[in-house]
Amino acid sequence: MNETFYEVLRHQGITRRSFLKFCSLTAASLGLSAAAMPKIAQALETKPRTPVIWLHGLECTCCSESFIRSAHPLTRDVVLSMLSLDYDDTLMAAAGHQAEAIIEQVKAKYRGNYIVAVEGNPPLNEDGMFCIQGGRPFVEKLKETSADAKAVIAWGSCASYGCVQAARPNPTRATPIRKVIAGKPIICVPGCPPIAEVMTGVVAYMLTFDRIPALDRQGRPKMFYGQRIHDKCYRRGHFDAGQFVEAWDDESAKKGYCLYKMGCKGPTTYNACSSMRWNGGVSWPVQSGHGCLGCSEDGFWDKGSFYDRVTNIHQFGIEANADVIGGAIAVGTGAAIAAHAALTALDSLRRRESTKDREGIEA
């Protein structure tokens, strides 16, 4: 039997006190009340780690880069400790037949109890010959591996929607995974790439509660994709006041006015960038002076220039139309802010813990 998450943490020298703090912060990062903390602790102490098979189709590996380069090492480490990453052909040492055999072993031993995480998508033209793995089309491997899985996670916009490799005329017929996998819950975590803390948050939720999070109409977890970039953007006041950047180097750009007229897709994009931000909360694209490209929305790559203004919304009274366009239901706006606060606290906890660990080892 796999070890529990708690056992793995103890082997790593994490104290029970820190474990309970982690449980409390996890509850906050998922937008849950403190009452959820004992349930999280009980689940993590008793449940064996969940085996995960991480597959790669047509993609650039930016989702893996985002995940493993999380600015919060403790978050990344504990999430990696929560799951048993039994197969990942980008990260694993095994190769060839040895690697392929691992998939069969996981399927046989954990039938119906493992998670498949997919980065990239399968190309279907010419019998799938544009992506060959282990001597056969990736689409076959994807279907077979998913057949006995508990659930499937579609990492990034490639797996969720097709993304740039599916751009017109899509010569390889790159196809979202939901169109080739049948009968399994699929959780879409789009973005190019998704925010690291969104990825770890989704995994933490699934492993803790043994269920998939509530999803919007596009299959995205509402806790992270329930609000528009525009709703939490710090430049929103300028939008409401009609103060816009008209050219990249004008006075309005220097004053940090709204980027709507420069093509910002924030009003029609659902993601957590404007509240959680990137690189551990350091910044995000709009804060760097560039408009949102809408990378977490289906078809963003084929909607014309990134610098074309969104024309199918009204400049004022925008909310009703944008909600229809976005096709998602807004949920409590506190979750992402709570997530960022919790992650910041996690980071400082990690630093304190690592200092204490060092002191303990040295003593």
Q: How far is the CB of 172 from ligand SF4 (least distance, A)?
A: 24
Q: How far is the CB of 271 from ligand SF4 (least distance, A)?
A: 4
Counting every residue written for the chain, the total comes to 363
Would you count residue 285 as binding ligand SF4 (CB under 6 A)?
A: yes
Contact with ligand SF4 (CB under 6 A): which of 81, 121, 172, 296?
296
Per the CB < 8 A criterion, the answer to whether 255 and 241 are in contact is: no
Contact with ligand SF4 (CB under 6 A): which of 51, 226, 266, 326?
266
| Cβ-based neighbour number of residue 95 at 10 Å | 9
Q: How far is the CB of 79 from ligand SF4 (least distance, A)?
A: 21
- The residues near 195 (Cβ < 8 Å, ≥ 6 apart) are 66, 224, 271, 272, 273, 276, 278
DSSP 135: T
* Cβ-based nearer residue to ligand SF4, 10 or 236: 236
Burial 23-61 (b: 16+ CB within 10 A, else e): bbbbbbbbbbeeebbeebbebbeebebbbbbbbbbbbbe
Q: How far is the CB of 77 from ligand SF4 (least distance, A)?
A: 24
Amino acid in position 10:
R
Would you count residue 157 as binding ligand SF4 (CB under 6 A)?
A: no
Would you count residue 286 as binding ligand SF4 (CB under 6 A)?
A: yes
Q: How far is the CB of 165 from ligand SF4 (least distance, A)?
A: 17
- The residues near 58 (Cβ < 8 Å, ≥ 6 apart) are 120, 121, 122, 123, 130, 131, 138, 158, 165, 172, 174
Residues 174-213 that bind ligand SF4 (CB under 6 A): 191
* Cβ-based nearer residue to ligand SF4, 31 or 294: 294
* Cβ-based nearer residue to ligand SF4, 75 or 269: 269
- The residues near 342 (Cβ < 8 Å, ≥ 6 apart) are 25, 26, 28, 29
Q: How far is the CB of 296 from ligand SF4 (least distance, A)?
A: 5
Contact with ligand SF4 (CB under 6 A): which of 220, 230, 277, 350?
230
Would you count residue 158 as binding ligand SF4 (CB under 6 A)?
A: no
Instruction: Give me 201's structure tokens.
Output: 């948050």
Q: How far is the CB of 85 from ligand SF4 (least distance, A)?
A: 25
3-class DSSP assignment, residue 21:
helix
Residues 106-125 that bind ligand SF4 (CB under 6 A): none
* Cβ-based nearer residue to ligand SF4, 6 or 260: 260
Half-sphere exposure of 296 (CA within 13 A, CB side): 35
Q: How far is the CB of 213 from ligand SF4 (least distance, A)?
A: 19
Indicate the residue whose CB is closest to ligand SF4: 266
Number of residues binding to ligand SF4, judged by CB under 6 A: 25
3-class DSSP assignment, residue 202:
helix
Q: How far is the CB of 107 from ligand SF4 (least distance, A)?
A: 34
Would you count residue 49 as binding ligand SF4 (CB under 6 A)?
A: no
Per the CB < 8 A criterion, the answer to whether 75 and 22 are in contact is: no
| CA geometry: angle 231, 282, 238, nearest 5 deg | 35
Residues 236-265 that bind ligand SF4 (CB under 6 A): 236, 239, 258-260, 264
Q: Quick one: angle between helices 73-82 and 334-362, nearest 10?
A: 90
Residues that bind ligand SF4 (CB under 6 A): 191, 229-230, 233, 235-236, 239, 258-260, 264, 266-267, 269, 271, 273, 284-286, 291-296
